[in-house]
Copies of this chain bind each other. A is one copy, B any other.
Amino acid sequence: MANTFGHLFRITTWGESHGGGVGVVVDGCPPRLPLTEADIQPDLDRRRPGQSKIVSPRKESDTVQILSGTFEGKTLGTPISMWVRNEDARPEAYSEMAAKFRPSHADYTYQAKFGIRAWPGGGRTSARETVGRVAAGAIAKKILRRHYGVEVLAYVRQVQRIVATVDPEKVKAKDIESNIVRCPDPAAAQRMIRLIEKTRRAGDTVGGIVEGIARGVPPGWGEPVFDRLEADLAKAMLSLPASKGFDIGSGFDGILLTGNQHNDPFRAKAGKVYTTSNRSGGIQGGISNGQTIYFRVAFKPVATVMHEQDTVDINFKNTTLKARGRHDPCVLPRAVPVVEAMTALVLMDHALRHQAQCGQAISTPQTTSGIR
């Protein structure tokens, strides 16, 4: 299961940084959805290296090819296999990694687990693996938008100490894409870009926070107990390379309030229920309540720095390592489409799960609540 995500809308990713390529198989996609590579490529372009001056200069066109699961431009309901060929692999840049473990990377742990590792580019541990997630997420986003009216977005909320001001209820995709750091607060964006450039020049890296949102999710998606919507989102986000934290709604800040201050009062208008505040982050008891879902993901500063650092070699001798290769000074601008993809995959899975159990089997009752 390690490389498969989702229960009904399932993806299985494969590929190493410097192998033949990276790809994904999407299983459980509803049939008859119009789908071509043109639906996928834009999100891959947002993720790919070389897109701007503040990301890794590795040259990958990341051109996606759909190998199965569509016919005459529509999905068949069968597995959609997609892949991207690796183009600009330069294993020689990593030859020192064959003999040494990079600090705060996964070289040592993979070696400890498997007794073998593909050291060029970090192999499977490379963030290049997220190509498959983004390709699959583009399909989920399309279905969510077309068939459920759900909009999924993410943006950079914070880089180191620079915090943007953003209203999750109003932020638009074009505001996010209006600058290379993908922060919809233009002033903060410029400061972030300057910080990243300065950091890169210093051979160092910075981290920050990506905020993800979903607007238009109807009440009722999610599951009690283990597969709560926020639990699946948390897993999705902590499965991303370099992520260290997740919180939803009021999150870690909410603990400073009392219950009386924190609760979201319900009100009704025109037969619809809403809350007058949204500290719950759009989810209550694991199930969406119809309000905007929003959450934060903390990304650590990239581990590859151009400074000499203490480490050990594969014979367990103390040594030092100074990174070479082409790397990101800050992972956040490229993490934005990945956070969107994972959010869409979680929501799509829960949309299908909801209609499986609560969709048609039992005819709609005359409940006292009038909800259904």
Residues of chain B within 8 A of A357, CB atoms compared: 8, 28-31, 77, 352
Considering the chains assembled together, what is the distance between the CA atoms of A222 and B204 in angstroms? 29
B246–A234 CB distance below 8 A: yes
Select the stretch in A48-56, A164-172, A174-182, A299-307 that faces chain B.
A299-307
Stretch at the interface among A102-110, A186-194, A333-341: A102-110
In Å, the complex CA distance between A220 and B113 comes to 4
In angstroms, Cα B317 to Cα A74, docked, is 26
Near B by CB (< 8 A), chain A positions 310-331 give: 310-312, 314-318
Nearest B-chain residue to A353, judged by Cβ: B356
Given A15-B68, A23-B81, A110-B287, residue A124 in contact with residue B300 (CB < 8 A): no
Instruction: Give chain B residues whose Cβ lies under 8 Å from the Cβ of A234.
Output: 231, 234-235, 237-238, 246
Are A109 and B219 touching (Cβ within 8 A)?
A: yes
Contact with B along A50-69 (1 / 0, CB 8 A): 00000000000000011111
**Residue A95 CB within 8 A of the other chain:** no
The answer to whether residues A71 and B16 also contact, given A1-B226, A264-B104 and a CB cut-off of 8 A, is yes
CB distance from A174 to the nearest CB of B (A): 27
A115 to B72, CA, bound (A): 13
A244 to B29 Cα, complex, angstroms = 28
Closest B residue to A219 using CB positions: B112
- Is A25 an interface residue, CB under 8 A from the partner? yes
**Known interface pairs A68-B16, A226-B4; A315-B368 also in contact (CB < 8 Å):** yes
Q: What number of copies of this chain does the assembly contain? A: 4
- A245 interface contact, C-beta 8 A: yes
Contact A106 B235 (CB under 8 A): no
Pick the contact of A285 from B67, B110, B252, B365 — CB < 8 Å? B110
Complex: chain B residue closest to A228, CB-CB: B239
B143:A361 contact, CB within 8 angstroms? yes
Which residues of A from 272 to 300 have beta carbons under 8 Å from B?
272-273, 275-276, 279-281, 283-290, 298-300
Q: Give the total of A residues in contact with B, Cβ under 8 Å.
A: 175
> Is B315 a contact partner of A370 (Cβ separation < 8 A)?
yes
A222 partner residues in chain B, CB cutoff 8 A: 109, 113
Q: How far is the CB of A109 from chain B (nearest CB, A)?
A: 4
Partner of A112, one of B74, B80, B245, B287: B287
A275 CA to B101 CA in the complex, in Å?
12
* Chain B residues whose CB sits within 8 angstroms of the CB of A230 once the complex forms: 238, 244
Q: Do the beta carbons of A125 and B285 come within 8 Å of each other? A: yes
Residues of B within 8 A of A300 (CB): 250, 254-255, 259, 262, 279
A221 to chain B, nearest CB (A): 8
**Selected contact of A370 from candidates B30, B232, B316, B355, CB within 8 Å:** B316
A255-B298, A256-B160 as given contacts; A25 in contact with B2, CB under 8 Å: no
Known: A67-B83, A318-B268. Contact between A356 and B356, CB under 8 A?
yes
Query: How far in angstroms is the closest Cβ of chain B from A147?
Result: 5
Whether A227 pairs with B263 at a CB distance below 8 angstroms is no
Q: A114-B76, A252-B245 are in contact. Are A27 and B8 (CB under 8 A)?
A: no
Among A10, A101, A263, max chain B CB count under 10 A is at: A263
Cα(A25)–Cα(B29), bound, Å: 18
Min CB distance A237 to B, Å, is 7
- A106-B224, A355-B360 given; name 9 further pairs at CB < 8 Å: A4-B4, A16-B69, A30-B362, A31-B362, A101-B273, A104-B280, A114-B358, A147-B362, A355-B355
